[in-house]
A and B are shown apart, each in its own frame.
Chain A
Amino acid sequence: MPPDSPPAAVPAPDLPTSIPPGLTALFVAFAKMSLAGFGGVLVFARRGIVDRHCWMTADQFNETYALCHFLPGPNIVNLSVVFGARFRGIPGAVAAFAGLLGPPVVIVTVLAALYAHFGEIDALRRILAGVSCAAVGLLISAVFRMMMPLIRRRDLVGLVLLAAVFSAIGLLRLPLQAVLLVAIPLSIGITFAMRRRAAA
């Protein structure tokens, strides 16, 4: 190899420079993110993976998260598995998954046992009623925040689909599977047709 062209020595600018994490590091990192994550783990996952450990660039993280967001199920749990598998294969996926879910599941199970024993105490019932009122408010604000891009784009089709799903599930109380088996193909078909028309 000629000395003036050392391709391996210069890291590509969009690749993180840190060495890939081991299984224990994956478990510990995801456990920490999870235990820090009150009301959502995403912010802490980004901070841990991109800023602190430099295991991914911000773009790589966004791409991975986008993939996990379009798949069904808990997004951040999907992310832990895709992330762990990318570095250490299936053992890595299991380590990240166990780190993300293991410690909080223990905490929540203890809380569930306490609730089963003390749930009828009047003061606790009042406190939980207050917390759930506030938590519903947080959920409403999250929905409106995520709706803003649709409203700004005047995405009428998207807003109609949103309203239709909202009515079918929230007002008519139809089963989730039945609604989505109609709504998903319909929405994908409309999106595909509109892209084709926009491109033509």
Chain B
Amino acid sequence: MNPDSNPIWTLAWTFGLMSLFAVGGANAAIPEMHRIAVDVQHWMTDKQFADVFAISQLSPGPNVLIVTLIGYRVAGVAGALVATLAMCVPTVVLAYYVSRFLGQTSHSRWPAIIQTALVPLSLGLMGASALILALTSDRTWTAGLVTAFAAVLAFATRVNPLWLLLAGGCLGFAGVI
């Protein structure tokens, strides 16, 4: 990283640009966050990225708050605020204008076509998120088993996800993972 560049500015343009490409929401942008935070900018290690993801999942609020944690790591409270706003404001402005435009011409079929076209792409992105997070989190066979078990339980039952996260935390504390 260029030592002269202001990290706040880097956070702002990184996440501002990323938000416009986050098709399918914040979880779909996790591979890109990992690529930039760990591989390109060296803001954090692989393990710290996995920790940040865990904290964001344990906290209340939208999934996008993972960028708040990354921003804090880079530049403290100011970094947290800038990263969060950069990730939200561009798309929110876009959403505001698109919803007003569609409110005037409600019979267009383009929204439905675009939506259908984007679903497989956002699922591919989220699948890539799962793969990258599994590679950073599941370092042992038992860790992989916990992930698989949580996936099956969450898929097959209506158990509250928070219980699965807490169970994972207990297993980790007990030294199983």
Please indicate the chain A residues that have their CB under 8 angstroms from the CB of B128 in the complex.
165-166, 169-171
Please indicate the chain B residues that have their CB under 8 angstroms from the CB of A175 in the complex.
32, 35
Are the CB atoms of A133 and B99 closer together than 8 Å? no
Are the CB atoms of B172 and A73 closer together than 8 Å? no
- Any chain A CB within 8 A of the CB of B11? no
Closest 4 CB pairs of A and B: A130-B172, A73-B91, A104-B61, A137-B150
- Any chain B CB within 8 A of the CB of A107? yes
Are the CB atoms of A130 and B173 closer together than 8 Å? yes
Instruction: Identify which of B54, B99, B119, B162 contacts A150 (C-beta below 8 A).
Output: B119
> Knowing A78-B92, A187-B121 touch, does A35 contact B35 (C-beta < 8 A)?
no
- Any chain B CB within 8 A of the CB of A12? no
Minimum C-beta distance from B48 to chain A (A): 7
Minimum C-beta distance from B116 to chain A (A): 5
| A69–B22 alpha-carbon span in the complex (Å) | 11
Please indicate the chain A residues that have their CB under 8 angstroms from the CB of B116 in the complex.
191
Instruction: Identify which of A34, A126, A138, A155 contacts B154 (C-beta below 8 A).
Output: A138
Instruction: Name the residue among B21, B92, B125, B176 with the largest chain A CB count within 10 angstroms.
Output: B92
Are the CB atoms of A74 and B94 closer together than 8 Å? no
Are the CB atoms of B161 and A38 closer together than 8 Å? yes
Count: A-B pairs, CB below 8 Å: 356
* Residues B107-134 near A (CB distance < 8 A): 111, 113-121, 123-134
- Any chain B CB within 8 A of the CB of A100? yes
- Any chain B CB within 8 A of the CB of A108? yes
Minimum C-beta distance from B170 to chain A (A): 7
- Any chain A CB within 8 A of the CB of B10? no
**Which residue of B is nearest A160, CB measured?**
B120
Are the CB atoms of A165 and B124 closer together than 8 Å? yes
- Any chain A CB within 8 A of the CB of B90? yes
Instruction: Identify which of B31, B59, B165 contacts A104 (C-beta below 8 A).
Output: B59
